Amino acid sequence: MVRDEVAEKIAESLLQIRAVKLAKPVGSEVYTWASGWKSPIYCDNRITLSYPKIRTYIRQQLVTLLEKSFGKPDVIAGVATGAIAQGVLVAEAMGLPFIYVRPQAKAHGMGNQIEGELKKGQRVVVIEDLISTGKSSLAAVEALRAAGAEVKGMVAIFTYGFDEAKSNFKKSKVSLVTLSNYDVLIQQAVLENQISEKDLPSLKEWRKNPSSWGQEEHSTNLK
């Protein structure tokens, strides 16, 4: 297997600053996501913003990956709220305009869903901090397309790599690239003794069917 040193360093950083929380042993603590899914892992990449060296490294790698994958767009778009700051950092580094996309249009004022100036036909790359199912990220893409943008693709810090997400991105015809991913993260967690090798089967099983994990039969098996 070819090593991805960037993915490993990102995973190492997320674990060190506790932006990613893994219960030890796996199953001893359960996190509930906004979707209602039960999970043995919780990722909050906003914490990286409090660490200048990590924040700078992530920004540099996002720019490098973006340019390599999609070239230089006309506009950088962040998905509210988690990727607004990351998107601003990338746009500033590239000398590009920045906009951000709300989950839905405001119910007051101008009723905007897209904040900032976007012209029809402009090429946009979307910045995201985290990909789970991809639904909220792809809703932002659809809003941009409806406004006349040409969405070149999406760049994210981390993905869980769910089959559902892969299917959603394929159906929406959106190219996604990420700095790090779940497989690299759990292997890095083993190296740092945050979890043990015996935890890996449970973590891999959760990733296969996250919507049903945490039900009684799964909880019993993972204790």
pLDDT of the chain, 223 residues: tens digit per residue:
456 999 999 999 999 999 999 877 666 778 888 778 888 899 999 999 999 999 999 999 999 999 999 999 999 999 999 999 999 999 999 999 999 999 887 656 666 899 999 999 999 999 999 999 999 999 999 999 999 999 999 999 999 999 999 999 999 999 999 999 999 999 999 999 988 898 898 898 899 888 887 654 444 333 2
Contacts of 41 (CB under 8 A, 6+ apart): 20, 21, 22, 23, 31, 203, 206
The pTM (predicted TM-score) of the whole model is: 0.91
The CA distance from 9 to 57, in Å, is: 9
Query: Do residues 125 and 174 lie in contact, with contact meaning Cβ atoms separated by under 8 Å?
Result: no
